[in-house]
């Protein structure tokens, strides 16, 4: 019979958007999530499943102490910076958090002899290479050519994890997800980035009268309606993929990477139409020129995740994503627009 520590998972950045949903999914699968977060961008009120440890991933001793105290045998590493645009103006911060911070976690993991590290990677590792594939689905074997310092840090992170796994004997999985969206139907947790940079929450805020009108960047792409195609995957499906990555049988020192996406794209205009249907009001927007570096399409081929992880997106149709996101943004439990701080559930 497995000990409790065999089911304990240290979730760095677990007070953030995807981390909070993953902690919930872990608990529902019988694991014991322990959130490790400095709350620089996450929310204490998002930690509703499992224990909480306040700490910074760049403090190797703090991570090592958390692993020793909890006897966690697995780590899911979310903690880091995510704003692509900001990575261009402040690459120093992104390398310090996303690479140096990851190195700190891996040093602690090696010392604690953890069994599995699951890494929050990104489709940003494909970057400019995706532009050469037009409307093709992107597989894990596609060339990697990040178009931003953010993408660079994610690709560097994957390489670092693979090297540490090989040297220190733990197994590791990188999940390259595409566009995380939606919210848990419970309404207890959802997306509350500050500042927000993602299309769906920005468009919902505009439709609800909480945010500024949008600019649609580019209407002349080689797509059915001329706007960019992106692969939107529901955050609950993403959370399920992380649980599957923890449970995947892997040999010591092995490393695998998987695309996590719905496998089909939605255009900007399709997203705006779905939000109009859900809100009863179209998001106010204007049309602008393409942004440099924006590929026409970024859509995952999730076949490897389906085959190896047994993972299939179950709630990533666009209408469900939008409905759950709108419900959250109308009554967020925490964040800048929340009416009242939410209680904490242990």
- pLDDT above 50 (res 300): yes
Span 25-51, pLDDT tens digits? 999 999 999 999 999 999 999 999 999
126 is catalytic: no
pTM of the model: 0.92
Q: What is the bridge-based pairing of β-strands 179-181 and 171-177?
A: unpaired
DSSP string covering 76-120, please?
Answer: EE--S---HHHHHH-HHHHIIIIIIHHHHHHHHHHHHT-SEEEEE
pLDDT tens figures, 308-337 = 999 999 999 999 999 999 999 999 999 865
Give 50-86 pLDDT, tens digit per residue: 999 999 999 999 999 999 999 999 999 999 998 888 8
Residue 4 has pLDDT above 60, yes or no: no
pLDDT above 90: residue 344: no
Task: Please check the confidence at residue 292 and state whether its pLDDT lies above 80.
Answer: no
Looking at per-residue pLDDT, the higher value among 198 and 60 belongs to: 60
Q: What is the pLDDT of residue 140?
A: 96
Classify domain 4-330 at the CATH topology level: Rossmann fold (3.40.50)
Indicate the pLDDT class of residue 296, thresholds 50, 70 and 90. Answer: confident
Inform me whether the pLDDT recorded for 340 exceeds 70.
no
E strands present in the chain: 8-12, 32-37, 51-54, 74-77, 116-122, 171-177, 179-181, 214-217, 229-230, 232-234, 255-260, 266-267, 285-288, 297-298
> Are the C-beta atoms of residues 174 and 158 closer than 8 Å to each other?
yes
CA-closest candidate to residue 151, choices 178, 180, 173? 178
What pLDDT sits at residue 132? Answer: 60
Average pLDDT rounded to a whole number, residues 176-187: 96
Residues 210-243: tens digit of each pLDDT: 889 999 999 999 999 999 999 999 999 999 999 9
Q: Is the pLDDT at 128 greater than 80, yes or no?
A: no
Q: Which of 150, 177, 232, 334 is catalytic?
A: 150
Using pLDDT thresholds of 50, 70 and 90, give the confidence band for residue 275: very high
Q: Give the pLDDT score at 258.
A: 98
């Amino acid at each position: 019979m497995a000990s409790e520590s065999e089911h304990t998972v240290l979730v760095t950045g677990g007070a953030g958007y995807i981390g909070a949903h993953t902690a919930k999914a872990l608990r529902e699968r019988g694991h014991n999530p322990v959130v490790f977060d400095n709350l620089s961008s996450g929310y204490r009120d998002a930690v509703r499943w499992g224990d909480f440890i306040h700490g910074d991933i760049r403090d190797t001793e703090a991570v090592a102490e958390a692993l020793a105290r909890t006897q966690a045998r697995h780590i899911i590493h979310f903690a880091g910076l995510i704003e692509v645009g900001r990575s261009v103006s402040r690459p120093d911060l992104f390398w310090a958090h996303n690479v140096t911070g990851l190195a700190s976690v891996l040093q602690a993991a090696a010392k604690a002899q953890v069994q599995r590290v699951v890494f929050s990677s990104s489709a940003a590792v494909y970057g400019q290479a995706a532009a050469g594939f037009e409307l093709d689905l992107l597989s894990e074997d596609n060339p990697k050519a990040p178009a931003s310092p953010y993408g660079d840090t994610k690709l560097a992170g994957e390489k670092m994890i693979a090297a540490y796994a090989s040297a220190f004997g733990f197994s590791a999985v990188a999940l390259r997800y595409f566009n995380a969206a939606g919210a848990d139907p419970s309404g207890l947790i959802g997306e509350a980035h500050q500042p927000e940079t993602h299309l769906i929450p920005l468009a919902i805020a505009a439709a609800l009268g909480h945010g500024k009108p949008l600019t649609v960047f580019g209407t002349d792409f080689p797509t059915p309606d001329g706007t960019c195609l992106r692969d939107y995957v529901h955050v609950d499906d993403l959370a399920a993929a992380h649980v599957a990555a923890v449970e995947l049988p892997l040999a010591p020192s092995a490393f695998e990477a998987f695309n996590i996406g719905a496998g089909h794209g939605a255009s900007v205009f399709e997203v705006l139409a779905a939000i109009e249907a859900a809100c009863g009001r179209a998001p106010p927007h204007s049309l602008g020129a393409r942004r440099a570096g924006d590929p026409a399409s970024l859509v995952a081929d999730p076949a490897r995740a389906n085959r190896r992880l047994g993972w299939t997106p179950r709630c990533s149709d666009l209408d469900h994503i939008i409905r759950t996101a709108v419900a959250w943004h109308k009554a967020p439990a925490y964040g800048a627009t929340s009416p009242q701080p939410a209680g904490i559930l242990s």
